[in-house]
Structure 1
Amino acid sequence: MGRLIIICAVLLMLSALSLVTARFQSRELFVQVDRLEDKARDLDTDWRRLQLERAELARNARIDEIARQDLKMVSTSPDMTLYIKGVASNVAQPSASGSQP
């Protein structure tokens, strides 16, 4: 009878220790999940901010403004356009009849 009581006491102690360990691990996992959710929210906020920045940087008006201010570019007009007539190269043209010379 004494052995049975000792065995039951040991099993009760092991059960209590496993319960405490399980609760501790559960709390650690809960804290980790909360931290990861916070990080996910921060990353989502950063992603949306980057999408807005990309849209702003790709706007035609912004590109035009940077080209005019930083690069000192100006829009072309017909009076500023130069047309260059090139000499045609001597490339063999296929004849209309399809026969080779």
Structure 2
Amino acid sequence: MIRVNLFLALLLMASAISLVTVRFQTRELFVASERMKAHAHELDAEWRRLQLERAELARNARIDSLARSDLHLVSVTPDRTIYLQQPAPAAQGAPQ
């Protein structure tokens, strides 16, 4: 009878230790999961901010103002335009 009681006591101790270990691992995984969710939320916010920044940088008015100020570009006017005319193609049966 003592052997059975000793075996059951050892089995109970092993069960209790495994329960504590499993709960500890569960808490660690929960904390890691929450940390990952927070990091995902931060990355999502950063992504939205970058999308807004990209849209702002690609605006036509901004590109135009940068071209005028930094590159000193000016708008095309008819008096500054050079038109080239392509010569008429030669007739097909005529000697060259």
Calculate the TM-score normalised by the size of structure 2.
0.88
Q: Which residue is equivalent to 1:60?
A: 60
Q: Which amino acid aligns with 1:65?
A: S
Q: Which residue is equivalent to 1:97?
A: none
Moved over 6 A (4+): none
Give the length in aligned residue pairs: 93
Secondary structure of 1:36's aligned partner? helix
Q: Which residue is equivalent to 2:34?
A: 34
Calculate the TM-score normalised by the size of structure 1.
0.84
Q: Which amino acid aligns with 2:63?
A: I
Q: Which residue is equivalent to 1:75?
A: 75
Secondary structure of 1:30's aligned partner? helix
1:90 Cα offset (Å): 4.3
The percent of aligned pairs where both chains have the same amino acid is 57
Coordinate RMSD, CA, aligned: 1.7
Q: Which amino acid aligns with 1:50?
A: L
- Equivalences for 1:1-101 in 2 at 5 Å? 1-90=1-90, 92=92
